[in-house]
Structure 1
Amino acid sequence: MRKISTLLNTTVFLLAFPIICLSQNTHYQKTDNGIIVKPTINNASIGKQIKLEVVTEKIIHAVITVADKFSLEPSLMVIPVKSKPEFSISENGNNVELKTKALTVKVDINTGQIIYQDVAGKSILEEKSFSARSFKAVSNDGEASYQIEQVFNSPDDEAIYGLGQHQDDMMDYKGKQVLLLQNNTDVAIPFLLSNKNYGILWDNYSITKVGDTRDYQPLSSFKLFSKNGEQGWLTASYVDKKTGEVGITRAESDIDYSFLSDMKKFPDSFKMANGKVTYEGKISSGYTGLQHFNVKYAGYIKIWIDGKMLVDKWRQAWNPGSAVVETEMSKDKKYDIKIEWIPDGNESYLSIKALTPIPEADENQYAFASESGDQINYYFVSGTNADEVISGYRTLTGKAVLMPKWAMGFWQSRERYKTQDDLLGVVKEFRDRKIPIDNIVLDWQYWKPDSWGTHEFEKSRFPDADGMIKTLHDTYHTKLMISVWPKFYSGNANYNLMNKNGFLYKRNIADGRKDWLGYPSTFYDAFNPEARNLFWDLMNKSLYKKGIDAWWMDATEPDIHSNLPIWERKQNMTPTYLGSGTKYFNAFPLQNSKGVYEGQRKENPNSRVFILTRSAYGGLQRYAAATWSGDIASRWEDMKSQISAGINFSLSGLPYWTMDIGGFSVERRYEDPNTEDLKEWRELNTRWYQFGAFVPLFRSHGQFPFREIYNIAPESHPAYKSMLFYNKLRYRLMPYIYSLAGASYQNDYTIMRGLVMDYGTDSKIKSIADQYMFGPSMLINPVYKYGATSRKVYLPEGNGWYDFYNGKYVKGGQTITADAPYNQMPIYVKAGSIIPFGPEIQYTDEKPADAITLQVYAGKDGTFTLYEDEGLNYNYEKGEFSTITFNYNDNLKTLTIADRKGSYKGMLSNRIFNIIYINPKKSNPLNFNQKPNKTIRYDGKQTITKF
């Protein structure tokens, strides 16, 4: 292990030490970019020194330490910011005040409390005035650090978003606990976004709790009563599910079978694969209020409290799911409780833990609490709206580099294509059926069974990988993304090379663990720059030089061995090159993507890198990496939870997110379905596909049954027809979608937009978790209930709205019941929208987007900027791109197409815009073949059209 301690802190760009002490009577020291305050009260609840650094006029870096010096360890997340904003310093009573053009930051010289205000003196964010912080000295593998916590006040009407991707079907995290811990399906990003138009970037890599940071308690923290009324436990009945006979009845007061090591807690005679467990009795809380239950489960789980079903879920055993559910309870009142659990296979998991209501004194606050850090270290980011706050996050952590244009098209994948013929046959079928596609994905096990980490194709199944890739490119105009894990089987040449250089985590090997296929393995240390270089060199030699287009970086949590307790997961990645696994636990996916991105850009500087990774961290967007939501289940409730998961991921500052359309893990009833199960399977995939066409990246993937639309349903079936319609619609929208991608780089835009981004002043949107804006114009409303033919849709106030399909106008500020026939998902377009549609195409670069149909939705002024570039290279970073801005004036009923700005190689100098004018007085159904209201022949010069 080597420790970086002498490098300048890359999170700041000026001196780390004070350069001026104004006088003996002042209570601060001025530095080149801020101040240092030493509170008069010095203890572990305040800190010895507080450093404020002005990053920009709207971004303040706060560092608090109990040590004599500030740590100089460079940040992995935050990059140097070239800025020298003006600021002033003064003392006012007990406060030292630092002022920029946009902010006033006050530090109480006694308590160390920091208050962030706007220039008018209105508070934006305040640290808690007393007991706001804590530092608890700890040692992790001999490494000295602190368990740290920082508490902020939070008003009643505040909502909290972001913080990565989680599967609890929640939008607003106020009053909840969010655990930042990388896990398959859960992504930790330490960036919080408030509806008060500020953000907090918490610069720490260890496991962190945000919000209500109390520890979840065992179920026995409640009063429990057996089925017969005895206090102290529930009655657990272990049943043979085939015969219905109760084999074992015993008292259980804690239900905690969370990890592999907990399997020994079950009765020896219980055959899990054939069993069912029922827990019955009563439960009572010592507190009145909202109780939270955290349920971890594999198999089928149902929970009722007071006769109300709180949980009805399923998940496969090898990747347990989790759920947080709430219920109101009165102090000391007994409630019936019943839990039914059917395990999945011979190893299955169930855990139920609880949090009692938040104490009244702590209701209006939230906190960050991390397991390990040298100091409290966070950035306060302000803005006039959520877009500005996210732009501040990217100022700190890097631009969201542009993905290749083809990545905006459709990707087909399955758990794996076992042979070269399988993969080529699927692409040929897509082309023969004229189903648009841009990318086929080759998942794991293309190597020999004992050769994980060699990156070599098994010859018997992939006899001509080079020829396969050439056929994909030249014959089918399709890209190939391939799965690469940071994993190596012991004994192969790549393992030996990594091991010889000391680049591997060794504990999993030392403990003799074997993976699902029965081989010992471990991961490389992505924190080591030399190890990252070698990892890329191995990928480059065996894969990139063959013509691979993109990388699927799987298991980047890192999932060295599944279903181990957290302490063992940390142990498995200790030591890292930088320090303990505890301190650096969450940052692995960032470093892994960094190595691949930098390696490919060095190898081929002008070809866009594209990475899909199962986990993420702050700053990942600068490494051309998108994230998918992991190995979720194929259930309606899992589809629903992806909506809020994707929205909050996007509100965390990273614009590229996707999911397994249809879910990855499938209930056995779908593998050989009866008539009713097949009907549900087709409808589930249809609804999920409708939703999936309107997230940043459009991707189908999963285990058996196969996910190609022709394998889901025949061509004559409404499921097939609907999926084909939305696939083609996605490609028609490519000018719109790629412009959103361009704006994500050029203007720090966010594609998948929580309603708070555009309608933050509308109090009704605060907790809406199942609707979002796709770009500036389209309100997306997925249907996630089996058999539903309508759903409730809230149309935000401040806008009128058009039904996307029939063109009918509806006033905003109301909840409507929207039609949702089998083949359609409700979509509404806001008045004042301008949406560009391109021609029908089979892949993104089949032909230029000409003519473009501009649908102009009247009722409000509107604007849209069409962005175009070469689509595959980095010339856009050199300014080689073009924009055409469309402005609609509702009062004058005019559309202005502005002068084109910029140019790039291959740009269309002249083009055609067909204008469809849609207004509140007359509905205009969606029809790409209708006669336009106007046709504009555009040569790059401004034109004005009046309707």
Structure 2
Amino acid sequence: MIFRKLFLIGFIGIALTTTAKNEVEFTTKSCDIKVEFYTPSIVRIVKVPKGHTFNKKSLVVIANPLDVAITRNGNKITSDSLSITVDNLGRITFKNKKGKLLLKEKNSNFVLRTDGADKGAYKVSQTFSLEKDEPVYGLGTIQNGILSRRNTHKLMEQSNLEDFQNVVQSIKGWGLYWDNYSPTNYDDDANGMSLSSEVGDGMDYYFMYGKNADGVISQMRHLSGKVPMFPLWTFGYWQSKERYKSSKEVVDVVDKYRELHVPLDGIIQDWQYWGSNYNWNAMEFLADDYLDGAKMIEKVHSKNAHFMISIWASFGPMTKAYKQLNEKGLLFDFQTWPQSGLTPWPPRMDYPSGVCVYDAFSQDARDIYWQNLKRLFNLGVDAWWMDSTDPDFFNPTEHDYEHKAGNGTWRSLRNAFPLCTVGGVYDSQRKENSNKRVFIMTRSAFAGQQRYGSNMWSGDVASSWDMLRKQIPAGLNFSLTGDPNFNTDIGGFFCGSYNNHGSGSATHNPQYQELYVRWLQYGLFCPVFRSHGTDAPREIYQFGKKGEPIYDAIEKMINLRYRLLPYIYSTAWQVTSKDYSYMRPLFSDFASDRKVWNMPDEFMFGSSILAAPIVEAKYTQEKIIKENAMTGWDSKEVKAQPESTAANFNENKTTRKYLPAGTKWFDFWTGKQYNGGQYVNISTSLSEVPMFMRAGSIIPLAPEMEYTGEKKWDNLEIRIYPGADGNFTLYEDEGDNYNYEKGMYATINFHWDNANKILTIGKQKGNYPGIIKDRQFNIVTPNGKKYHINYNGSEIKAHI
């Protein structure tokens, strides 16, 4: 942006010019400002020191400004949704059309960088004034257990356990995306809310007025990209651990699940299938125990399961990719994982691995990455586990930050690395084959990454009740940045502190067993339902056998996940088509209830289910664990400890949960009805997670199955929860290609008329190969009454 010749307006200190129908430029004594409307409710603000040239192509924002009608009256610009005023010091005030104050700038600051690779750029900072009791949310997966971001001070730089998207939103219905990729400090205190970035040619942010949380999320996706559909099978159960050590072991795990008739849709191969660290991330089966990797994948597929494999953002010096990238100068030389060419921890630095991170900001580098990854894709790999996409960045020096990266420096682009590396795989696979939907699981994410078919997990979290509690607000705040796809390592990654009787014994320790079951019950309500970790295996049969309380509790939740698949997959369509979210903080639906504004342990799962997982020990003593993602690798064998009092997992316990005001609620397990706006004490067992259905909800449940697609959805149970009118749209398609983008899918709308007790099942709309035309719906109400409806695609009404 080069500012044009300006003319003075009616007071000293600021000048204004009109440059296009949807934008206005100002100048003050110290800076130039551009106000550009992208929609009537989204406005871009750019500030640069006076006379400075600003010309930037965003890595995140892919939307173009619409033709927005605005009116100008002096220093005030108004659209159909917003009123923006720029004062004589360049401070901007945002109000809605009715004049309600939304957000106000306090001060801006630019500090010229006078040396180093970023010389000529600026350190940029903007401070805003918030109302005293105004909670704000978002930013990313800060692991502090708190929902609101008020009174937070955080250096936002991607890492193993915390990731940042630079998106914040308020209970007042406004959102802000700070379009900067360098490490950024977020601070909120008596001085205001400020964002301060280490590098920028100017200050660049987008103000969004969505009126509520969903509106802000929708606007962020308008700017940065919509969410594609994941394959249906990705919503089933995934089994993993660090790590399966042979192709035989992988196949044996799938076999065991099929033998036990426990549902399973995915098996994951973690690292080192390539052998030596010098071959790190070779993207080939080179280890002796994986030489039959292609046959392994065939066997997994023959058992109606899918295969995901670990890939990294770095390469060992003996790999083909390393040599190709190195020839073109597309490798960074900073320290990353693994530091040693030998496998044990701590690393032997006298045997350095030579592993280097690749320059994902370069299109050439992303192309080389895919050329090598294509070897695995051609073997039939179904999904990618992109580890260390932060990436691991150890002992950083000034030299490391000044390394050339893409068209900038590592410092200037650092936080956008996950966006670019994940985007490279997504774009390449879609060009290669449109018959298989891209599914990527990644350890890190930046704003806009929702458009790349990826689900982020929260890193190598420790196995503790404290960490379990922190995952809920971390996931909710992540969703509030516009990316709905979040999951965690069920059971926590590092569980070695529970190995009281030798390696792997945690699964027989009642303290860990209880934690694992409760973590699994939280995972039930995440878009990806995946068990993973080190120090002890996590397969269901490691916890006992059928008829024992821990095994049965695990099996019950996995079965429930499969019964919920029609609800979850229909929600996925709402995420794609209507900018919805899976995991929703309670204020998204009940903002008028101030008690939920900072509630960190309950949330809505889709539109109807209140998820209230138990996140404290009820049967055992809570074990205090203090471990981080690096010290966890320095595992020490825990000496045998005296046995604690045996836990009676067959007992019922009492838990206290809050039900938001404004509706009635039904206990999923008992059908009991409660009024909202109160805490309730409920009796619960180890095998049941507290969950409540909102009045007016319509919940489709599938029959139990061992993998998605085993049984057609031609005999669904439909649960009706009366007390309010309700609607639900059942969505179906082929499950694993992009034909839905061409309109090849079908929907059935359900409407509950509460006053007249009439359920209307609308006409089936749309078509796709394999569509179900004749089916039975089995209607169930909380009082236990059942009705059977034969449905052939035509509208039908039933008095319930």
* Cα 1:166–1:514 shift into 2, 3 Å: farther
How far apart are residue 17 of structure 1 and its match? 6.0
Instruction: Say whether the 8 Å CA contact 2:498–2:506 is kept in structure 1.
Output: no
Instruction: Quote the Cα distance in structure 1 between the aligned partners of 2:200 and 2:227.
Output: 27
How far apart are residue 160 of structure 1 and its match? 1.0
SS in 2 for 1:49: strand
Instruction: Quote the Cα distance in structure 2 between the aligned partners of 1:113 and 1:469.
Output: 59
1:30 aligns with 2:18: yes
* Cα 1:508–1:807 shift into 2, 3 Å: closer
**Equivalent residues in 2 for 1:208-607 (5 A)?**
208-212=184-188, 358-359=189-190, 362=191, 365-449=192-276, 450-458=278-286, 460-474=288-302, 476-508=303-335, 518=351, 519-540=353-374, 542-561=375-394, 564-565=395-396, 567=397, 571=400, 574-607=403-436
Instruction: Quote the Cα distance in structure 1 between the aligned partners of 2:458 and 2:402.
Output: 23
> Given the alignment, which residue of 83, 86, 91 partners 1:107?
86
Instruction: Say whether the 8 Å CA contact 1:39–1:111 is kept in structure 2.
Output: no
Partner of 2:489: 660
Could you tell me which runs of 5 or more consecutive residues in structure 2 were left unpaired when the two chains were aligned.
Answer: 345-350, 620-652
User: Which deviates the most, 609-618 or 138-147?
Assistant: 138-147
SS in 2 for 1:167: coil
SS in 2 for 1:68: coil
Partner of 1:277: none
Instruction: Say whether the 8 Å CA contact 1:686–1:719 is kept in structure 2.
Output: yes
Instruction: Say whether the 8 Å CA contact 2:661–2:676 is kept in structure 1.
Output: yes
Paired letter, 1:735: P
Instruction: Say whether the 8 Å CA contact 2:141–2:475 is kept in structure 1.
Output: yes
Q: Deviations over 1:860-907 (max 9, x none)?
A: 111111111111111111121122111112112111222222222211
* Cα 1:844–1:829 shift into 2, 3 Å: same
How far apart are residue 663 of structure 1 and its match? 0.4
Partner of 2:109: 134
Q: Deviations over 1:179-230 (max 9, x none)?
A: 3210101011111121111110110001112232xxxxxxxxxxxxxxxxxx
Q: Deviations over 1:445-503 (max 9, x none)?
A: 001213113212135201311111111112x1111000001111124333112111211
Q: Deviations over 1:92-131 (max 9, x none)?
A: xxxx1211111111112x1212111111111111112xxx
Instruction: Quote the Cα distance in structure 2 between the aligned partners of 1:933 and 1:914.
Output: 7
TM-score by length of 1: 0.77
Q: Deviations over 1:216-249 (max 9, x none)?
A: xxxxxxxxxxxxxxxxxxxxxxxxxxxxxxxxxx
How far apart are residue 606 of structure 1 and its match? 3.2
TM-score by length of 2: 0.91
Instruction: Say whether the 8 Å CA contact 2:40–2:79 is kept in structure 1.
Output: yes
Instruction: Quote the Cα distance in structure 2 between the aligned partners of 1:738 and 1:856.
Output: 18
The percent identity for this pair of structures is 37
Partner of 1:189: 165
Partner of 2:145: 169
Instruction: Quote the Cα distance in structure 1 between the aligned partners of 2:171 and 2:682.
Output: 27
Instruction: Say whether the 8 Å CA contact 2:508–2:543 is kept in structure 1.
Output: no
* Cα 1:786–1:544 shift into 2, 3 Å: same
Instruction: Quote the Cα distance in structure 1 between the aligned partners of 2:156 and 2:22.
Output: 30
Partner of 2:604: 773
User: Which deviates the most, 798-807 or 872-881?
Assistant: 872-881
1:155 aligns with 2:19: no
SS in 2 for 1:150: strand
> Given the alignment, which residue of 71, 77, 94 partners 2:60?
77
Partner of 1:241: none
Instruction: Quote the Cα distance in structure 2 between the aligned partners of 1:486 and 1:577.
Output: 15
Instruction: Say whether the 8 Å CA contact 1:706–1:712 is kept in structure 2.
Output: no
Instruction: Say whether the 8 Å CA contact 2:105–2:129 is kept in structure 1.
Output: yes
* Cα 1:147–1:625 shift into 2, 3 Å: same
Instruction: Quote the Cα distance in structure 2 between the aligned partners of 1:675 and 1:438.
Output: 25
* Cα 1:104–1:892 shift into 2, 3 Å: same
Could you tell me which runs of 5 or more consecutive residues in structure 1 were left unpaired when the two chains were aligned.
Answer: 1-15, 213-357, 925-931
How far apart are residue 771 of structure 1 and its match? 0.5
How far apart are residue 428 of structure 1 and its match? 0.3
User: Which deviates the most, 489-498 or 881-890?
Assistant: 489-498
User: Which deviates the most, 158-167 or 421-430?
Assistant: 158-167
* Cα 1:515–1:532 shift into 2, 3 Å: farther
> Given the alignment, which residue of 932, 936, 939 partners 2:792?
939
Instruction: Quote the Cα distance in structure 2 between the aligned partners of 1:945 and 1:66.
Output: 67
* Cα 1:515–1:394 shift into 2, 3 Å: farther
Paired letter, 2:49: V
Instruction: Say whether the 8 Å CA contact 1:783–1:820 is kept in structure 2.
Output: no
* Cα 1:895–1:19 shift into 2, 3 Å: farther
Instruction: Quote the Cα distance in structure 1 between the aligned partners of 2:401 and 2:271.
Output: 23
Instruction: Say whether the 8 Å CA contact 1:669–1:677 is kept in structure 2.
Output: no
Q: Deviations over 1:634-672 (max 9, x none)?
A: 111111111111111111111111110000012334262
* Cα 1:622–1:90 shift into 2, 3 Å: same
Partner of 1:643: 472
Instruction: Say whether the 8 Å CA contact 1:753–1:774 is kept in structure 2.
Output: yes
SS in 1 for 2:554: helix
Instruction: Say whether the 8 Å CA contact 2:8–2:16 is kept in structure 1.
Output: no
Aligned-pair Cα RMSD in Å: 2.1
Paired letter, 2:435: N
Instruction: Say whether the 8 Å CA contact 2:268–2:309 is kept in structure 1.
Output: yes
Paired letter, 2:491: G
Instruction: Quote the Cα distance in structure 1 between the aligned partners of 2:716 and 2:21.
Output: 50
Partner of 1:88: 71
SS in 1 for 2:289: coil
* Cα 1:378–1:572 shift into 2, 3 Å: closer
* Cα 1:179–1:884 shift into 2, 3 Å: farther
Instruction: Quote the Cα distance in structure 1 between the aligned partners of 2:497 and 2:7.
Output: 73
How far apart are residue 767 of structure 1 and its match? 1.0
Partner of 1:783: 614
How far apart are residue 514 of structure 1 and its match? 5.9
Q: Deviations over 1:314-366 (max 9, x none)?
A: xxxxxxxxxxxxxxxxxxxxxxxxxxxxxxxxxxxxxxxxxxxx45xx2xx31
Paired letter, 2:19: T
SS in 1 for 2:120: strand
Q: Deviations over 1:689-733 (max 9, x none)?
A: 111111111000001210001112222221110110110011001
Paired letter, 2:292: D
Instruction: Quote the Cα distance in structure 2 between the aligned partners of 1:632 and 1:746.
Output: 33
1:123 aligns with 2:111: no
1:854 aligns with 2:718: yes
How far apart are residue 940 of structure 1 and its match? 2.3
Instruction: Quote the Cα distance in structure 1 between the aligned partners of 2:361 and 2:153.
Output: 29
> Given the alignment, which residue of 675, 695, 713 partners 2:526?
695
Q: Deviations over 1:564-591 (max 9, x none)?
A: 25x46x7167221221111111010000
Instruction: Say whether the 8 Å CA contact 1:477–1:843 is kept in structure 2.
Output: yes
Instruction: Quote the Cα distance in structure 1 between the aligned partners of 2:700 and 2:7.
Output: 59
Partner of 1:842: 706
User: Which deviates the most, 164-173 or 80-89?
Assistant: 80-89
SS in 2 for 1:127: strand
SS in 2 for 1:727: helix
Instruction: Say whether the 8 Å CA contact 2:244–2:269 is kept in structure 1.
Output: yes
Q: Deviations over 1:71-91 (max 9, x none)?
A: 212111110336222222222
